[in-house]
Amino acid sequence: MTHDSLIASLIDICREHKTAEKWLVLPSLALGHTISDRLALSGHAWVNLRPGTPVQIAQAIAAPILASRHIMPLNDVVGPALIVRLLAETPLTGRDYFRGLVESPGLSEALWSGITELRLAGLTSEGLSDEIFVSPLKARELRHLLAAYEQYLHEGKLADSALMLQVAIDQMPTHRADRPRLLLVPTDVAWRPLEQALISALPGIPVNLRHSVPGGLPVPRRLIEASAGASGPSSSPVTALTDSQRLPWLFSPEQAPPPANDRTLEWFHAAGHEAEVHEVFRRALASGAPWDAIEIACTTDEPYVTLIREICARLDVPVTLASGVPVTMTRPGRALLGFCRWIEQDFSGGGLCRMLQSGDIHLDLPDGPRPGQAARLLARCDIAWGRGTYARSLQGLIQTLKTEATHAAAEGETEDLPWREERVAHAAALASWVDTVLERVPPVDPDHLVDEAALIRACVQWVDRYAAVTGPLDGAARQALIETLTALGDLPPIRQRLTVALGQVIAAVERTRVDALRPQPGSLHVTRLADAGWAGRPRTFVVGLEQGAFPAPSMPDPILLDEERTRLHAALATTGDRITESLYTGASRLAALGGQVTLSYPNRDLRDDRLLFPSSVILQAYRLTRMDRSLTYEDLAAELGEPATRLPATQAKALDDSGWWLRGARQAGTAARPAAQAAFSLLSSGEAAEEARDGNSFTAWDGLVPSAAGDLDPRRNDRPISATAIEQLAKCPFQYFLTRGLRLKPSTRIERDPGAWLDPLTRGSLLHELFAAFLRDCRDRGVMPNLARDRARIHQIGNRDIAAIREQLPPPNEAVFQHEREALLTDLDRFLAFTAGLQDREVVGIEVAFGRGVTEDPDPLAQEEPIVLDLGQDLRFSLHGRIDRIDRISAHRYEIVDYKTGRPWARDRRIAHLAHGGQVQHALYALAAETLLRKSDRSAQVVDAAYWFPTERGECDVVSRKPEEWQALTGLLRGLLSLLRDGVFPHTTTARECDWCDVASACGPKPWDRKTMKHDDHRLDAVRAIKGEEYA
């Protein structure tokens, strides 16, 4: 026998009126099919039982009439977007109520909801008098908006739900008993006025079906009249056979029959939502019940729908979701949201990179690249914002890749030449793909407006062509999105602000759900608490019963206030109505359950890191089982005990392998280590590496690589080396091996600070270029820099190059650009003042390159070939680089200069002549400069090497190095290159080198502290000789 009063009433009616026509009026058609399935599965005939909603009934009645007038149904999905258009067309008066907030997506949805309620209440624009509303201004705007909506329906020959209901009502006969049909109407639904009017006007014999009435709760105001005339058995039997059948007395435990103590009503709490869902599945599996005997009722869709779907997919459990899946959880949905955000962020390079890495899109390029490869290529372009930067940056990347391939071939690196050529082809294909995508996105005009229809077409094309589809759910999502976007695109054309147009698309995506299914044989079913129990399954889990989730909190409607609703129509729900109806409906469905019922709630929200507390339902269930209304939340907390966690209590209760392993490891402790290492060999390798690093011997885990001995030594491989590479080798040989030996690179992320334009590296490079451009200009004019004469000229050069880099790398906004532009011009002023004060010298070399890097504007001293340094005793190698500046300070005497655009050095760097190899650039460049200068001046001698800090931050500081300070260079280089010869690459000796290291994650914690452990290993003698006390 069923415990659900409404189902019991239907069974009796179907038995008594077997062949009579029976219309079952319900809030949703899916509910009608679920009830029909339940009747059939329980062996009860339901011949001629026709479920339907008031709107569906109205459509069937009104369709011929509307069709004869060429009137089509309005697609509700366009409602909020339509409201934005109608509101935007409202004349501005200077004193606006809603008009000024037209760009808020939330406002359009709230207004659409309010307009829909007014229409379904049978109200028109003419009935919205000023006296009803708290503000005449508000009344005027709502009246104008509703009138504009009515006019849009009339002129567009469209019918919304309210119009179809009204047309159907107008077709009803005067006497409703003309047909011997039964009109079966549940009493727990608060119908909208036009829906109720149609139900009352339908021909037939009305029968109000009694619902399961929860004792102890008053019947909500809007349900009183229907409940009073209900027929069918009482919902509160005199006796109850099980504890779960006592739930009708949940809120009146003192009136309940004695408990059966049969554990058919249970509860628990869990340490978070995920732990709660895991415990539900553990209990479901332990029960041995088939999945189609179990239903999970949720107080809220999220996060439960997501968590349940993930577990079902992992355990291969078939599941039906009554509310469906949010399209934002599918690949096409995420792809469209990413596309909209990319446009909204002015086509940020980071946004496109994330989409390519996400797996949510495919490029539709048969010859590549794949999305992941495209993301890596894009990361090399350093694109910040702006659609115009992509073509320039990608073409620059193509040229760079071609140059790299040419250099690699010239240096004999032919083994990876096919890969390099493929990357060039991939970059070209990516550039063409990006260009195609950008062409489809309409531009924003000078008034910051965009053609919304064209933008929607671009979104449709993006989803149709590039959204990844890996299964039926993704396929359904793509189709649903295309239909939704097409409906939006069919609205009258309008030019909107980009943020408004994108907001409407994003809002439509977030409202769309797919794959909503009623209960199916063989499948677990997930539904909302308000719809729990209709399938009649014997085991029900009710999750999410924490305070604030049930009864659901209800805020006052922002459009129609409670006092206005009361004046407009008695059937409009107020805030209080929504709260009482939510509690009453949930309690009614609990009262109808029967079978095995388990209630639960999470005691912590792990996302927000806050405690959660049980709702009154859990406390009332505790009171009901104990027959004691005086029990408190403190008593309940003591009864609940420890919360369930994601970790199972025993291995036998584990849902998957990870749970089994974690519980077993927890129980076994360190005894589980051998088994874990055997199963996961990488763990064993990691532990071996840590033990080796913590030992006294220098091993492969510390940087001993005999197989690389000599391969990276420029004395043997005939490949040039740079001063920067030698300094890196001195600072951290391990980093040198990872980046230059193994060629490891960090995962590049194109992320830009919206409050900054140029990063320090780009800014420094730009200043170097500007300094060089100004000095070349002075050389071409045959003048020395002059502060009074050249300030305008250096600003002209600066503004020209700043404008050029702005084209390549757009700033986030004009304010940031102007701030950084002024700072750059200030630095140029400081440079001009600094260099103009040096009249006793002549600039003879500007950006003097030797080896790779000689391209445009080569200095007369530059050469294509690297410099060959022969320092004797097997110390001959090639060096390439670029000297910022060479000055002649007297006959045959020169000074080389290296610009620094950061802050002045601290004292330890100023007094460190060669810094144990970490500061050898000046010495190496001095040797290189002498080689270049002696082509035209055989007696040339570099007598000084200086680091200049000619900027605002650098305070025009100068650090000078004399030749006598680099006398130890030869021995130092010999020691450093011996590390490459022997394949010895130990970690750094100081913590500061790890602060900005891109590969520090490969080294473990505090690698510099391990130097003392290896103190006696002879293979580190060369390092000790170089570092001295640093390695003690």
Amino acid identity for residue 164 in this structure: M
Q: How much is the average pLDDT of 99-125?
A: 86
CA distance 979 to 971: 13
pLDDT tens track for 259-305: 999 999 999 999 999 999 999 999 999 999 999 999 999 999 999 99
Which pLDDT belongs to residue 881? 92
Closest CA to 159 of 48, 65, 71: 71
CA distance 769 to 809: 16
CA distance 83 to 145: 8
Can you tell me whether residue 49 is helix, strand or coil?
A: strand
Provide the pLDDT confidence category of residue 852 given band limits of 50, 70 and 90.
low
The answer to which of 334-348, 678-692, 848-862, 869-883 has the lowest mean pLDDT is 848-862
CA distance 864 to 776: 20
Q: Which residues contact 118 (CB under 8 A, 6 or more apart)?
A: 128, 146, 560, 568
CA distance 28 to 36: 13
Q: Which residues contact 968 (CB under 8 A, 6 or more apart)?
A: 913, 914
CA distance 125 to 142: 8
pLDDT tens track for 345-380: 888 888 899 999 999 999 988 888 999 999 988 888
Which pLDDT belongs to residue 400? 83
Per-residue pLDDT for 945 more than 60? yes
Q: Are the C-beta atoms of residues 673 and 660 closer than 8 Å to each other?
A: no
Q: Are the C-beta atoms of residues 545 and 603 closer than 8 Å to each other?
A: no
Which pLDDT belongs to residue 810? 75
User: What DSSP designation does 737 have?
Assistant: I
Q: Are the C-beta atoms of residues 868 and 911 closer than 8 Å to each other?
A: no
Distances (CA, A) of 431 to 344, 369, 384, 911: 21, 11, 16, 50
Q: Two tokens at 510?
A: 């977030």
Across all residues in the chain, what is the average pLDDT?
88
Torsion sign (Cα): 383, 386, 387, 389: negative
Which pLDDT belongs to residue 747? 66
Q: How much is the average pLDDT of 248-252?
A: 92
The residue with greater pLDDT, 102 or 559, is 559
Per-residue pLDDT for 238 more than 50? no
Q: How much is the average pLDDT of 963-972?
A: 88
The answer to which of 134-148, 242-256, 402-416 has the lowest mean pLDDT is 402-416
Q: What percent of the chain clears pLDDT 70, i.e. is strictly above it?
A: 94
Which pLDDT belongs to residue 949? 94
To the question of domain 698-748+840-1032 being in CATH 2.40.50, the answer is no
Closest CA to 303 of 286, 283, 285, 278: 278
pLDDT tens track for 40-90: 988 998 899 999 999 999 999 999 999 999 999 999 899 998 988 888 777
Residue at token pair 């109505």: 577
Helices (H) and strands (E) in the chain, counts: 37, 26
Which pLDDT belongs to residue 1032? 46
The number of residues in the chain equals 1032
Angle (CA) 905-907-913 rounded to 5° is 85
CA distance 968 to 926: 14
- The DSSP element (H or E) to which 424 belongs, if any, is helix 417-440
Q: How much is the average pLDDT of 832-853?
A: 88
CA distance 271 to 606: 8
To the question of domain 5-66+167-209 being in CATH 3.40.50.150, the answer is no
User: What DSSP designation does 206 have?
Assistant: E
Q: How much is the average pLDDT of 227-247?
A: 66
Per-residue pLDDT for 1009 more than 90? no
pLDDT tens track for 976-1006: 999 999 999 988 888 887 877 888 888 877 8
Provide the pLDDT confidence category of residue 966 given band limits of 50, 70 and 90.
confident
Can you tell me whether residue 605 is helix, strand or coil?
A: strand
Return phi, psi of residue 855, to 5°: -125, -105
Closest CA to 863 of 872, 854, 871, 855: 854
pLDDT tens track for 500-539: 899 889 999 999 999 999 999 999 999 999 999 999 999 9
Which pLDDT belongs to residue 876? 92
Per-residue pLDDT for 868 more than 50? yes
Q: Two tokens at 270?
A: 């869990």
Q: How much is the average pLDDT of 952-978?
A: 90
pLDDT tens track for 602-626: 999 988 888 999 999 999 999 999 9
To the question of domain 244-324+519-640 being in CATH 3.40.50.300, the answer is yes
User: What DSSP designation does 688 have?
Assistant: H
The residue with greater pLDDT, 238 or 337, is 337
CA distance 534 to 537: 8
CA distance 571 to 192: 7
pLDDT tens track for 142-191: 999 999 999 999 999 999 999 999 999 998 876 555 567 899 999 999 99
pLDDT tens track for 785-840: 999 999 999 999 999 999 988 877 778 778 889 999 999 999 999 999 999 988 88
Cα distance from N-terminal residue to C-terminal residue, the chain: 87
